[in-house]
Chains A and B, each alone.
Chain A
């Protein structure tokens, strides 16, 4: 494994952990406190309900698009991207 590959895997791992941290917050953390969040209102929804019915879903969609772009940039900068 050469230097570029080591850097690439370090950055890839970093991105993976950041992605999973965001995923963790919106998969588990916010829903653990759903009852408390329902006391607040967002777009006219009780917030706890909104997060489970829509909010977390939107975050997931955006997160994966962002992940795909960022990973692609890492691949290119480390010179291990596929040829176009």
Chain B
């Protein structure tokens, strides 16, 4: 125990050294690049070196103790838990696709930015401190104990698996994409390499190992995101804090959109997977339906945030209830650093492409000139962008330039003429983002299955050693299943990251919130709420996405939580009121959950 204590006290020093070491590594790569090392080698070194470090942290954190495996021994200080949560939270999609989404989608896409940050207000005010006080190992553990009975527990496991598995295949897919590009492996091999890295971080040490690797991954990903943006903005004369001063650039884009007739000129041909820019950057929709679509997406993402088990379980690891609350605040601060930079990056990149006064501007230049640019050639080769002279006038118009949104983060360093070392850094950052989220998700699923399904439902007499072996075997199996699905490239069919949030909020939001805030909520109500919400949401998703039904008032497949949540709420309230109120013991348990003082509801080794 003394070792553990001194390790916690030394955390700032350890991660300070780690950050310093990483910066030295970046500088070393920069020097090697100047000395003529090949770009490919730099990419391999960046990804290989960082993944090795994570694996080493995972190995050093190995454990055979139940509370270390499930909740990192409940000893993670709020600031570090904040960093770990931020890495857990920011997926490959946040890192690679968010800026690109804003570039292509303009104001409407910012609903994700608002939704994926504001959800933490719900986490702090409604959930995290109470779940921490409860003392559970997993989210279904709370449902199972608060409402009692294996059926409720099983329903919670079901929702958790549906939501998290949807999410994790996308993450393994992202690690595979990055690993295959940086290490020059076929995608199918890259996926398994990515999984290997993910398992090395989580298998031996469970939550403890994932916590300390996620902190390391946060440091890499935030450096990798901020350095190119700040460098680029400095180069363009916007200074070192571009996030505060890009208002002029936004205004300028408005003028350029008129000049280039964005939204007036629409593409005359379709390129699969790529899009031409047709949406204005800052202008918001004018109709009530546009506003409705914006806020419904915001609501689904926020309620989903507050129901996703891999996020909630991070707050089980803090030493106290107070620390859990502070930790939510730190988490959002660390997430905010990336999320308020993404719109700035999208704006700068778009300005570079559209502004004819800048050397980098390409719209309005001759086709021949544009297609001879290095970055256009490189990214055309891998199918990320395409230039088609649709009207045959030899000049590039806005509706003749097709690209994938991901390019905004991946190719910007090249567009702006930054050295290759920056591209290597960005690859390492994307890998860190995707790996850390996949780790958290896999652990959430495996823990729910091993703790709630195996130990609590199937074999309550299992010994500690058996439980931890089962937990690890499940981690392997689920990881392999995720990688298999990813390698089959089914993720396009399985759909968007947004679905995970919709599944989670449809099934779990109200059973979790009302478990703390409404004493009258009982087992029958919770089961009805989870099942009705999940079924209604899934049915609606199926109907609009695959059965060709017209969405009701703009509620498309990204927003099916808007259908699932009210169904869940109504089912839960009605069924609860129609059946007997919870017994005295349960009501006392809720009272104990509501105050920070006193021992946790569940004992420390349940």
Residues of A within 8 A of B (CB): 1, 5, 8-9, 12, 15-16, 19-20, 23, 26-28, 31-35, 37-38, 41-46, 48-50, 52-54, 56-58, 60-61, 63-65, 67-68, 71-72, 75, 79-83
Contact = CB atoms under 8 A, between A and B. Distances in A.
Interface string B288-327: 0011001100110010000000000000000011100110
26 contacts: A9-B594, A12-B594, A16-B125, A19-B124, A27-B114, A32-B294, A34-B291, A35-B284, A35-B286, A38-B284, A41-B247, A42-B247, A44-B247, A44-B248, A48-B284, A49-B282, A49-B284, A53-B113, A53-B340, A60-B121, A61-B329, A64-B121, A64-B328, A68-B124, A68-B326, A82-B321
B597 A60 contact: no
A7 B559 CA distance: 39
A22 to B, nearest CB: 8
A60 B250 CA distance: 23
A24 B464 CA distance: 45
A49 B114 CA distance: 11
Contact of A80 (B118, B283, B332, B595): B595
Contacts of B248: 44
Nearest to A4: B595
A75 B322 contact: yes
A45 B254 CA distance: 11
B46 interface: no
Nearest to A37: B284
Given A57-B117, A60-B120, A72-B325, A27 B251 contact: no
B284 A34 contact: yes
B375 interface: no
Contact of A64 (B114, B120, B245): B120
Contacts of B596: 75, 80-82
A50 to B, nearest CB: 7
Nearest to B243: A54
A31 B322 CA distance: 32
Given A53-B113, A82-B596, A60 B284 contact: no
A20 B125 contact: yes
B550 interface: no
A71 B247 contact: no
Contacts of B320: 82
B243 A52 contact: no
B122 interface: yes
Given A53-B343, A67-B325, A82-B596, A28 B299 contact: yes
Nearest to A15: B125
A24 B298 CA distance: 11
Contact of A1 (B282, B298, B299, B591): B591
B343 A80 contact: no
Nearest to B288: A32
Nearest to A59: B118
A80 to B, nearest CB: 4
A8 B595 contact: yes
A57 B331 CA distance: 13
Contacts of A15: 125
Most buried by B among A33, A53, A63, A71: A53
Contact of A45 (B122, B125, B250, B283): B250
Contact of A63 (B121, B246, B286, B326): B121
B285 interface: yes
Contact of A72 (B115, B246, B322, B340): B322
A5 B596 CA distance: 11
A52 B301 CA distance: 14
A42 B298 CA distance: 23
Given A23-B122, A27-B118, A65-B329, 14 more contacts: A20-B125, A23-B118, A28-B295, A31-B114, A31-B298, A35-B285, A35-B290, A37-B284, A44-B248, A45-B251, A46-B283, A57-B339, A61-B117, A81-B322
Given A67-B125, A80-B596, A56 B285 contact: no
Contacts of B102: 53
Nearest to B115: A27
A68 B340 CA distance: 22
Contacts of A34: 107, 284-285, 291, 294
A54 to B, nearest CB: 5
B110 interface: yes
Given A31-B295, A38-B284, A57-B340, A5 B326 contact: no
Contacts of B286: 35
B126 interface: yes
Contacts of B326: 68
A21 B386 CA distance: 47
Nearest to A48: B284
A38 B283 contact: yes
A31 B254 CA distance: 20
B344 to A, nearest CB: 8
Contacts of A56: 114, 117-118
B282 A54 contact: no
Contacts of A72: 322, 325
Contacts of A33: 291
B22 interface: no
B114 A52 contact: yes
Nearest to B595: A80
